[in-house]
Amino acid sequence: MAKTKVAVIQMACEPSVDANLAKAVARVREAAEAGAKLICLPELFRAQYFCQREDHALFDVAESIPGPSTAALSEVVREHKIVVVASLFERRAPGLYHNTAAILDHTSDKPDNIMAIYRKMHIPDDPLYYEKFYFTPGDLGFSSQRTSAGPIGTLVCWDQWYPEGARLTALRGAETLFFPTAIGWHPSEKEEFGERQYDAWQTIQRAHAIANGVWVCAVNRVGHEQGDVEINGELLKGPEGAGLEFWGGSFIADPFGRIIAKASHDKEEILYAELDSKEVEITRQHWPFLRDRRIDAYEGITKRFLD
């Protein structure tokens, strides 16, 4: 049984991919110096959210893993003996790209201290969220990593709406689920739908905590973005229009779904919490959902729909 200080970094992204990486490294170092041993960055933190349009030039944002981002972060990982979850646009091969989270652990002897990677499984295609143009669905499945800071699992943004992903990750041993995210409001919809959209986002993830008896850490970006991206000194402008207002609101929930830390909707913040592994054990003893699962009766869950 152990307690671990966790930090989730809610940050705003500017057009320069280099500036965003430098900021992320600085925020990770700040969190580590504050005592955090397990740190998560938001989804695709190196750039403004470029999936607001379909543009082949934006594939130049992608990088290999290991690559420039993991190299920069691994210096802090080794220096402070920490674990970092970093969401990246992965160039796997020519014409093959993924939305990938790299889990860096100071105990790993692999290049850039990469313990494992997780490739986003569920890829959305909605107005201003045209991810299917850029990302191939993940092919590594759902997984758990026994890091030096405890057993964790990572899912990415759109994955957070699917109870199957959270369940399978928990069944593989994860006691803390991280959800690096880039989600926001269409400004024209915010007044009418904004509150209920955020509430749904928070509620579904709290439900994952309750149903699986795990800690949940959801980390979002913040700020208004047009999707402008500067690569190698060239500025690629985002689409004209209202853009997206990322709603922040990052939070950490305990294994019974209670919010123990929550960020604002409009400011950059580092959110801290102390996670006690014994809370997973105690919660599952009193609410034994895993014990009472009817594993003999779930055959239909692998079907698209039961006619």
Domains of the chain: 3-302 (3.60.110.10)
Q: Are residues 284 and 277 in contact, defined by beta-carbon separation less than 8 angstroms?
A: no
Dihedral in degrees, nearest 10, Cα atoms 6, 12, 17, 21: -30
Catalytic residues: 43, 120, 157
Task: Give CA–CA dist 120/141, Å, rounded.
Answer: 9
Q: Is the backbone peptide bond immediately before 66 cis, with ω within 30 degrees of 0?
A: yes
Could you read off the pLDDT tens digit of each residue along the chain, which spans 307 residues? Answer: 589 999 999 999 999 999 999 999 999 999 999 999 999 999 999 999 999 999 999 999 999 999 999 999 999 999 999 999 999 999 999 999 999 999 999 999 999 999 999 999 999 999 999 999 999 999 999 999 999 999 999 999 999 999 999 999 999 999 999 999 999 999 999 999 999 999 999 999 999 999 999 999 999 999 999 999 999 899 999 999 999 999 999 999 999 999 999 999 999 999 999 999 999 999 999 999 999 999 999 999 999 999 8
Q: Position of tokens 């006691």?
A: 175
Task: Give CA–CA dist 72/101, Å, rounded.
Answer: 15
Of 154, 103, 159, 104, whose CA–CA distance to 131 is shortest? Answer: 159
Q: Are residues 29 and 206 in contact, defined by beta-carbon separation less than 8 angstroms?
A: no
**Helix (H/G/I), strand (E/B), else coil: 206:** helix
> Within a 13 Å sphere around the CA of 212, how many CA atoms are in the beta-carbon half?
27
Please compute Rg for the chain using Cα positions.
19
What is the distance between the terminal CA atoms of the chain, rounded to a whole angstrom?
A: 46
Task: Give CA–CA dist 104/151, Å, rounded.
Answer: 13
pTM for the predicted model, two decimal places? 0.97
Task: Give CA–CA dist 195/199, Å, rounded.
Answer: 6
For the chain, count helices (H), then strands (E): 5, 19
The CB density around residue 118, as the number of other CB atoms within 10 Å, is 28
Dihedral in degrees, nearest 10, Cα atoms 147, 260, 34, 152: 10
